[in-house]
Structure 1
Amino acid sequence: MTNTVLLVGNLGADPESRSTGNTDIATFSLGTSRPKRDSEGKTYKDASGFTAKDTEWHRVTCFNGLGRIIAQHASKGMLVSVRGRLHYTRWTDRDGIERYGCEIIADDVQFLSRPRQSGGSGAAGGGADLDEDVPF
């Protein structure tokens, strides 16, 4: 049995990085899109004439060397491929409510659009087909 996930999508925001002891961690949101379908299962066009899309957001976590590379070179809007595994968590929040979550623990991230240049400004393109209402 195996737990493998492969996602291709755009970063919803610049990665966040932190260190805990000897472990470097980078996290980011990844948006993946698919065509919207009507009640008959057919795709349809929006008011602009483009195929309407549904976007799903995934939390991705990268550790150590991969985390450092992502923190240095990835930026909002970049197109990336993520290979990893699903990880489910359960915790109790400050109000005593039990919460559940799912994230992707990345084993490999491939840049499919250009990473930002060191000291450069702005993000690489590639996010044109994602919804603008990023949930942050």
Structure 2
Amino acid sequence: MNNVVLIGRLTRDPELRYIPNSGQAVSTFSLAVDKNLSKDKKQEMEARNQPTADFVNIVVWGKSAENCANYLVKGRLVGIQGRIQSGSYEAKDGTKRYTTDVVASTVEFLEWGDSKPQGDSNSKGSDFSDLQDFHPIDNDDIPF
């Protein structure tokens, strides 16, 4: 079984690319996921200049990749569900490099701010009308 669920904050803005010939969208970004540390252990690690979070590379494909690139920015809280994918490549200096990424099947936008989506200067950050399968509801319609 290969299933990953993460909640964390983006460490950089997503990078969007399109695969030549197919035109398939792919977005990549890094996610900082806090380690589950006690307050004392966290302070101890910070004092020794050790990381208190894990940094995970995320890959998203298709329409979700475009949505991530258009609506997510560094620092935003997101939930990711997907699978681990490992690989390798040869660097320019001839050494073999190994990679481990999470290929996201679902990206949940857990936090929205006042920043505007890229390329739309008249839209507010809470206007999600062009997101696939997103339908805003009135809070009065929620049964609890």
Q: Tell me which interval the TM-score lies in, with the shorter structure as reference length.
A: 0.7 to 0.9
Letter in 2 for 1:3: N
> Within 5 A, what are the aligned runs for 1:98-117?
98-114=96-112, 116-117=115-116
| 1:30 partner SS | strand
Listed as ranges, the gaps of 5+ residues in structure 2 are: 45-49, 126-144
Q: CA deviation at 1:20?
A: 1.1
How does 1:34-113 map onto structure 2 within 5 Å? 34-36=35-37, 43-44=40-41, 46=43, 54-113=52-111
Kindly indicate whether the alpha-carbon contact (under 8 Å) linking 2:9 and 2:77 is maintained by their aligned counterparts in 1.
Answer: yes
What is the aligned partner in structure 1 of residue 33 from structure 2?
Answer: 32
Alignment partner, residue 132 of structure 1: none
Name whichever structure is richer in helix by fraction: 2
* 2:138 matched residue in structure 1: none
Q: Given that residues 8 and 33 in structure 2 are in contact (C-alpha distance below 8 angstroms), is that contact kept between their aligned partners in structure 1?
A: yes
More strand by share: 1
One-letter amino acid of the structure 2 residue matched with residue 86 of structure 1: I
Residue identity in the other structure for 2:19: T
By how many angstroms is 1:43 displaced? 3.8
- Taking only aligned residues, the RMSD between alpha carbons, in angstroms, comes to 2.4
Q: Distance in 1 between matches of 2:92 and 2:72?
A: 32
Q: Is the 8 A contact 1:36 1:53 kept in 2?
A: no
Query: Between Structure 1 and Structure 2, how many residues are aligned?
Result: 112
**Which of structures 1 and 2 has the larger relative contact order (alpha carbons within 8 angstroms, sep 6+)?**
1
Report the identity percentage. Answer: 27
Counterpart for residue 4 of structure 1: 3
* Contact 1:35-1:53 within 8 A present in 2 as well: no
**Could you say if the C-alpha distance between residues 83 and 35 of structure 1 is closer, same or farther in structure 2, counting changes exceeding 3 Å?**
closer
Question: For 2:96 and 2:29, how far apart are their aligned partners in 1?
Answer: 23
Q: Unaligned stretches of 5+ in structure 1?
A: 125-136
Aligned partners of 2:82, 2:2: CA distance in 1, in Å?
A: 8
Structure 1 residues 36 and 17: alpha-carbon distance in aligned structure 2, compared to 1, 3 A threshold: same
Asked whether the 8 Å contact 2:42–2:52 carries over to 1, the reply is: no
Provide the C-alpha distance between the structure 2 equivalents of 1:35 and 1:4, rounded to a whole number of angstroms: 19
Change (3 A) 1:45 1:92: closer
Query: What are the Cα deviations for residues 113-132 of structure 1, in whole angstroms up to 9, with x where unaligned?
Result: 01543346xxx9xxxxxxxx
Contact 1:59-1:103 at 8 Å conserved across structures: yes
